[in-house]
Amino acid sequence: MAAVKASALFSACVRLGDQAGRIIRNVWNSRSLNTFDKSYDNPCTAADLGSQKIISATLLRYFPGLQIIGEETIEINENDSVEIEPEPLELFSSSDRDLDIQRITIWIDPLDGTKNFVMGDLEGVTTLIGVAYDENPIFGVIHQPFGENCPSYFGGVDVGVWYKTSSNISQFIPSLSNDFSIASSRLHKSAQGNALLEFLHPDQVIYADGCGFKSILVLRGQASIYLVDSPFTSKWDICPSVAIMRSLNGYSVDLNGNSYRFDKETSKANSNGIIITLNQSHLNRIIEGWRNFDRSKL
């Protein structure tokens, strides 16, 4: 088999999250977003394309033959790649292993929260890079280009979860939310979503945007659950969060409690919604609520 070292691949993903963040900030600072609509109400910018190019081209340069599925469909060449530090991050050294490159799928959302980015609402903007082996996410990076000190949350089942800023890397300890609070989309509301939230009777609803950012709210204990009731999101939106949550013994499933597959043959859409939480009792409450929720009148 053609093998790659997990430590080298994971380290490259972390470093490319930072590189993508620089591109996104540079485009924002230039005010030349070059926005166009891929489809109705689905914008794309020079930052989306530039971020996708640098991540995909660099991964293929260092790991030829890698299967990459990104939100943006673009042509790339080696000139789009950048030099990255070849030495793996030391924190991955104790859990290194060989991975069969044919069994790896990389899921990339180069700029999660494009509508917010265009509007100048930068808090929820993230870059998402997920590594799946066969059908299972094993590593993920959530990078915040506009967060304080440009932080990244990254990790997976064999490596733990880490928090990286521009000056420091430390192990990440999640904060658990004790109340039944739900993070829900602010820009993508629906009649069904509103009715479901009312039916579930949460202690509070935190309206926010960006799949990666809402996962961060759960990690930081600012929400107990990130909930999506529709098929609006895609595998690249949640692959990193699934890997990180599994490392923390958390949950990332559909509304019936089933896991999604993340191999290259699977559907890109999260067709039955998303539940992301660290709290099993809250997970069960959502699944039971969805089972009893009457959708026939909507």
| Residue 237 annotated in ligand binding | yes
In a 3-state reduction of DSSP, which class is residue 42? strand
CA-CA distance, 14 to 151, in Å (whole number)? 11
The answer to whether residues 151 and 132 touch, using CB atoms and an 8 Å cutoff, is no
Torsion of CA 247, 249, 254, 259, to 10 degrees: 60
| Residue 121 annotated in ligand binding | no
The answer to whether residues 150 and 165 touch, using CB atoms and an 8 Å cutoff, is yes
| Residue 298 annotated in ligand binding | no
Query: Can you tell me which residue has the tokens 């870059």?
Result: 127
- Separation in Å, CA 291 to CA 136, 190, 224, 226, 231: 26, 19, 20, 18, 17
CA-CA distance, 68 to 132, in Å (whole number)? 10
The answer to whether residues 248 and 278 touch, using CB atoms and an 8 Å cutoff, is yes
Q: Which of 293, 282, 139 is nearest to 224 (CA)?
A: 282
| Residue 283 annotated in ligand binding | no
DSSP classification of residue 277: E
| Residue 111 annotated in ligand binding | yes
Residues of the binding site for Mg(2+): 71, 109, 111-112, 237
Residues of the binding site: 71, 109, 111-112, 237
